[in-house]
Amino acid sequence: MIGNKYNELSKKIIGAAIEVHRTLGPGLLESTYQKCLVQELTIQNLYIETEKEIAVHYKGINLDCGYRADIIVEHKIILELKSVSSLTNIHEAQIMSYMRLANIKKGLLINFNVRLLKEGLKSFVL
């Protein structure tokens, strides 16, 4: 079960994402939202890693297959950012796979290309 630490951290992350979306609005590149969200999370003194390599563990060997997490916050929550017309099952599968490979229990899939950010936000727990 995910505890209060995860819930508090999720609220901070979502608040930061809302601030970015409120300031910029929809329609920009994913990379723009990522840089601005990193800035917001940094202002909150959160430890973040961007474009973190996620290895595939295959038969006892770690392989770099080119997978990168957009943002990992406090070693606890993976953020997968999108700027697309709508989220699909493949986006959900992607974040779930990243969570499993990185052994991180919580993930947030955030699509900034929406009218209200809550319409583009999905939370995942392993």
* 43-70 confidence digits (pLDDT tens): 999 999 999 999 999 999 999 999 999 9
Domain ranges of the chain: 4-125
Nearest to 126, CA basis, from 34, 6, 9, 4: 6
Phi then psi for residue 50, to 5 deg, are -115, 145
**Local confidence band at 6 (pLDDT 50, 70, 90 cut-offs):** confident
End-to-end CA distance of the chain: 9
Contact by Cβ (8 Å): 27, 121? no
